[in-house]
Amino acid sequence: MISTNQHTVSSYTNSFIGMDEAITLKKLIANQSIRIENLDVFIEDQHILKDVNLTIPEKSITCIIGPSGCGKSTFLKTLNRMHDESPEVKISGKVFVDDENIYGPHVNVIDTRKKMGLLAQRPCPLPMSIFDNVAYGPRIHGIKRRKAINQTVIQYLQYVGLWDEVRDRVRKSATRLSIGQQQRLCLARGLAIEPEYILGDEATSALDPLSTKKIEELFVKLKEKYTIILVTHTLRQAKRIADHIIFMYLGKIIEAGPTEEFFNNPKKQLTRDYLSGSFS
């Protein structure tokens, strides 16, 4: 077992060696945003994630790919502690976010979740108006002033390109929007809590190609400010927008690296098989 995550290490480990070995992505350790050490996740008796060691670089897009059931979504859920809601899930290991282990004893789960904006597979607007959907996060986090809320809502609706489409009906129910608009609304809602990270769990799989394109463009725009981690089913999407790729199979990280290198020169036979479509 190699643990590369020493604060002094600043080199880029490009050796995507054995499955059990640590994999680090290209970034200085000092700038790293999420660092995962010896993460194991069990759901009842099933070993879902097996000894995951990983560093996710900040202000870039990292795509997690792999066949269904390989643990991608489970992994994403460990990052914002959504497994807390399911007592049958057992987690061991450390997940450092901003150098703080979010599974540590004195961590407030609300604070952790506030740092992570989650974009789910299917958009799920809250049962309230478009305006209130975006205002919900700031409101529950204690912003009372009407003016500040208005400003936030407009700012983020503009950011996701929804403001011009809905400005006449921001007080109407959000469920009337098209599914692509709903997903952008959910993104604006997530951004309004001012997270540092954006997690996307197959965030475009329910959308039509045009809406997918809009969301992808937003991700690319967002990576200037945020660290983005996406689970995706489509290799083409990963190729289009990712800076880094993590390939998972049966709960293990098989290979990880910069997008171009990953696709052009995969190191592992399993990766080559997956990319060539031998299994999915």
Partner 1 sequence: MKHLEEKIFKVIMICAAMIILGVLMYIIGTVFYRGLPALTLDMVTKLPGGGFYLGKEGGVLNAIVGSLYIILGSLTISILISVPLVMYINFYLPAKSIFSSMIRFSLDILFGIPSIVYGAFGFALMIYLGIRASLIGGILTVAMLIMPIMMRSFDEITRLLSRDLPDALLSLGATKYEMVKVILRQLMPGLVTAILLAIGRGIGDAATVLFTAGYTDNIPTSLNQPAATLPLSIFFQLGSPVEEVQNRAYASAIILTVIILILSFSARYFSSKFSKNKI
Residue 136 touches partner 1, criterion: CB under 8 A: yes
CA 219 to chain centre: 11
Residue 230 touches partner 1, criterion: CB under 8 A: no
- Residue 140 CB, nearest approach to partner 1 (Å): 5
Do residues 267 and 279 touch, judged by C-beta distance below 8 A?
Answer: no
Of 9, 19, 43, 128, the residue at the interface with partner 1 (CB under 8 A) is 128
Rounded Cα gap, residues 70 and 157, in angstroms: 35
Do residues 61 and 241 touch, judged by C-beta distance below 8 A?
Answer: yes
Residue 126 touches partner 1, criterion: CB under 8 A: yes
- Residue 213 CB, nearest approach to partner 1 (Å): 23
Of 45, 85, 168, 224, the residue at the interface with partner 1 (CB under 8 A) is 85
Binding mask 167-196 for partner 1 (x = CB under 8 A): ------x------------x--xx--x---
Residue 87 touches partner 1, criterion: CB under 8 A: yes
Of 60, 80, 183, 237, the residue at the interface with partner 1 (CB under 8 A) is 80
Residue 122 touches partner 1, criterion: CB under 8 A: yes
The total number of residues written for the chain in this structure? 280
- Residue 254 CB, nearest approach to partner 1 (Å): 28
- Residue 208 CB, nearest approach to partner 1 (Å): 19
Helix extents (H) in 23-178: 72-79, 109-115, 130-140, 146-159, 163-166
Of 46, 69, 141, 176, the residue at the interface with partner 1 (CB under 8 A) is 141
- Residue 42 CB, nearest approach to partner 1 (Å): 16
Tell me the C-alpha to C-alpha distance, in Å, between residue 260 and each of 62, 166, 265, 276.
13, 38, 8, 16
Residue 42 touches partner 1, criterion: CB under 8 A: no
Of 17, 28, 30, 140, the residue at the interface with partner 1 (CB under 8 A) is 140
Rounded Cα gap, residues 104 and 122, in angstroms: 31
Do residues 139 and 153 touch, judged by C-beta distance below 8 A?
Answer: no
> Which tokens go with 170?
């921001």
27-242-200-218 Cα dihedral, nearest 10 degrees: 110
Rounded Cα gap, residues 84 and 193, in angstroms: 20
Count CB atoms within 10 A of the CB of residue 249: 21
Sole window of 21-29, 128-136, 231-239, 248-256 interacting with partner 1 (rule: CB under 8 A)? 128-136
In the complex, the residues that contact partner 1 under the rule CB under 8 A are 80, 82, 85-88, 110-111, 113-114, 116-118, 120, 122, 124, 126-129, 132, 136-137, 139-141, 173, 186, 189-190, 193
